[in-house]
Amino acid sequence: MKLDRTHDPQLRSWVESANAPGTDFPIQNLPFGVFRRKRTREPLRGGVAIGDQILDLAALGLKTGPTLNSLASLGRPTWRRLRAELSRGLSTKNARWKALRRHLVPMKSAQLALPLAIGDYSDFYAGIHHASNVGRLLRPDNPLMPNYKWLPIGYHGRASSVVVSGTPVVRPKGQVKPPDATLPAYAPCQRLDYEVELGFAVGPGNRLGRPIPIGRAREHVFGVLLLNDWSARDIQTWEYQPLGPFLAKSFATTLSPWLVTLEALEPYRCPAYPRAAGDPRPLPYLSDEEDQREGGYDIAMEMFLRTRKMTTATRLSRASFRDSYWTLAQIVAHQSSNGCNLQTGDLLGSGTISGATPDSRGSLMELGQAGRQPLALPDGETRGFLEDGDEVTLRGRCARDGFASIGFGEAAGRVLPALS
């Protein structure tokens, strides 16, 4: 781990809300986002979350424009210097803090946007517990396909329908064919689901034809966001063979607005997921000693549901990215291993993250056993899949003894009825 003074748990900020216990955005975090004041025509611009405030990056003389792509392209040395400058400026040790205070905007007064212009989006299937749970529902005798433990499986998603947290999601329509039907029909999805994931934002890209070595893979990642991969399970069941997900996934993907940098996540690195006896060793292009030693990240993710009848949301699951079978570096290395050129702003999804226990399952498909055992909610309602008016909210947090706890904000979306 590469730790420095910006990770010091004793650091305090002159922004008082950043020192509050439980805040997502203490001075040790400093995630980037894009914002403008609500009900204004101000241009979108870059900012940093600190407590319940946003520091406009213009305070440091930076012109980021409507996205953070230009900043993301600059690379790790620049990001580290900027983080150090922000940490010094927001610290109580800064005698000139009043000059920065006028560049603060309260979060409650801000409209947040997607932090990046996303050119391409790939979604992976790195959560082994999710893959096993879903595999048992579909293929009880053979849950994991033969290639699962050899390579990070993924598919090419749809970048145009990635939306920022708070954007409503219209129930999709598509071709469905229930098991007892003779013919398919075009109808609203009846088995709408969410998936608990992380999104990895690409910083500097690689040249076409030049794979990224696994030992350099993290240098190409700007940061991490929460990601909800909305899924139309009944559309997916009919369409996915033989080429995989398509319209069942492309109608919406929700991202959190705050991008937590890999620098902020250094204290929460952990060993890669332990491979069972008999599992194959990764091929050389996916194998790196340091990555196996500390290439995982202990990022806890919780999914909450609030129905139209509820006054407060209820937690459905809690899992950690440390249970991902494939590391972030392995995902990046594999995506580029055929010479594919990643570009600044590209998004790589982790795939659904579930744990080994029933309360850590990262989708309703798992929690409700594909609708066979609907989930009982505290108010007496049940859910096999999402209904109109349901709002799901994904939250993330990192905690480790001896370090400040940091959060990711949230990725939330409410289900609207299908268009007539």
Q: Which residues fall within 8 angstroms of residue 45, CB to CB, at 6 or more apart?
A: 34, 35, 36, 56, 57, 58, 63, 64, 65, 66
Specify the pLDDT at position 1: 82
Largest CA distance in the chain: 75
Which residues does the annotation mark as catalytic?
Answer: 130
For every residue of 1-20, DSSP letters joined together read: ----GGG-TT--BSSGGGGS
Specify the pLDDT at position 382: 98
CA distance 204 to 344: 5
Could you read off the pLDDT of 235-253 as tens digits, one per residue? 999 999 999 999 999 999 9
The answer, as to whether pTM is greater than 0.85, is yes
Listed as ranges, residues in the chain with pLDDT below 50 are: none
Residue 123, H or E segment: strand 121-124
Could you read off the pLDDT of 144-178 as tens digits, one per residue? 999 999 999 999 999 999 999 999 999 999 999 99
Which CATH architecture describes the domain 5-113?
Roll (2.30)
Residues of the chain with CATH 3.90.850.10: 121-416
Q: Which residues fall within 8 angstroms of residue 278, CB to CB, at 6 or more apart?
A: none
Specify the CATH number of the domain 121-416.
3.90.850.10
